[in-house]
Amino acid sequence: MTSLQLENIGVRYGDTDVVSGVSTPVLRGGELTAVIGPNAAGKSSLFKRIAGLVKGPGVIHLSAAAQAAENAICYLPQDTSTTAILTVYESVILAAKQGSSWKVTGRELQKIDAVLNALRMTDIAGRNLGQLSGGQRQLAAIAQALVREPKILLMDEPTSALDLHRQIDVLSFMRELATRRNMAVLIALHDLNHALRYCQNVMVVVDGRMIACGATHDIITQDLLRDVYRVNARIERCSFGNSHVVIDGPIHDHAAMSVEDFAACA
């Protein structure tokens, strides 16, 4: 059984603590955990710390099953821009073959074909990454991550450049894949409706600290929207019984953008 638990995790850049004291309950395989919070809250840094790309205090507890995996943790960065002259297919081979021989076997090619087919990307497999739209590059990045067959997948805003259909497609695909593969998936998201619809858990990060972590419907509340996002909103149930956020508007405090101040500079 795959599981992940963070204990007092921190990240420090120079003299600044960008993440500190993050401890979570056990996050189990088969579940999606949305990592939410305002911009620059430290979500990406937290992911990099979990993936071992940056150093910092704290302990990451992995279950024995996760530890035994060849690529236990895989981080999917937010930035997918590249000028590399590599096709989508080659970039997925690259992700699969790190540290191994030059030869790509027929079996490995079959696996890559299957991943690209599952993500409905075969039509762009032969195109160079530099020629793709932002959304297509995000899909290529997801294929690169999935081909490594991680036990714990950290996805940093993986749907930010995708159209609505693809966003829903990717999130429902990840939810089902997580269940079938017993994979623990952490997804940084800004769309709270997606979090409510597809994620079992939510972790809220503000100013580098985790202020809440638990079942999605317990955490995403009217109070959270007001306190964390400074937004007046309600959580309502639609006729299908699904919860969704209805936004009334921003709270007009000193931090809200001001057209009057802008007009003053004319």
Site residues for other proteins per CB under 8 A: 14, 48, 51, 53, 71, 74-77, 79-87, 89-91, 93-95, 97-100, 102, 109-110, 112-114, 116-117, 122-123, 125-126, 128-129, 141, 144-145, 148
Q: How far is the CB of 80 from other proteins (least distance, A)?
A: 8
Q: How far is the CB of 90 from other proteins (least distance, A)?
A: 6
Burial of 204 (0-12, 13-18, 19+ CB in 10 A): buried
Residue 128 or 221: the one with the smaller Cβ distance to other proteins is 128
What is the C-alpha to C-alpha distance for residues 74 and 174, in angstroms, rounded to an integer?
A: 14
Q: How far is the CB of 212 from other proteins (least distance, A)?
A: 27
Q: In what order do the strands lie in the sheet with 3-7?
A: 27-28, 3-7, 59-62
Spatial contact of 91 and 145, defined as CB atoms under 8 Å apart: no
Spatial contact of 144 and 94, defined as CB atoms under 8 Å apart: yes
Residue 87 or 201: the one with the smaller Cβ distance to other proteins is 87
Spatial contact of 2 and 152, defined as CB atoms under 8 Å apart: yes
Residue 78 or 193: the one with the smaller Cβ distance to other proteins is 78
Report residue 86 as tokens. 């590599």
Residue 50 or 233: the one with the smaller Cβ distance to other proteins is 50
- Name the residue among 107, 139, 134 with its Cα closest to residue 122: 139
Residue 33 or 80: the one with the smaller Cβ distance to other proteins is 80
Q: How far is the CB of 124 from other proteins (least distance, A)?
A: 10
Q: How far is the CB of 38 from other proteins (least distance, A)?
A: 22
- Name the residue among 176, 124, 174, 183 with its Cα closest to residue 151: 183
Q: Is the CA virtual torsion 26, 67, 139, 54 positive or negative?
A: positive
Q: How far is the CB of 147 from other proteins (least distance, A)?
A: 10
Residue 103 or 254: the one with the smaller Cβ distance to other proteins is 103
Report residue 194 as tokens. 């997606």
What is the C-alpha to C-alpha distance for residues 167 and 92, in angstroms, rounded to an integer?
A: 21
Residue 48 or 233: the one with the smaller Cβ distance to other proteins is 48
Spatial contact of 108 and 149, defined as CB atoms under 8 Å apart: no
| Secondary structure (3-state) at 51 | helix
| Secondary structure (3-state) at 142 | helix
Residue 46 or 145: the one with the smaller Cβ distance to other proteins is 145
Q: How far is the CB of 111 from other proteins (least distance, A)?
A: 10
Q: How far is the CB of 237 from other proteins (least distance, A)?
A: 37
Other CB atoms within 10 A of residue 71 CB: 16
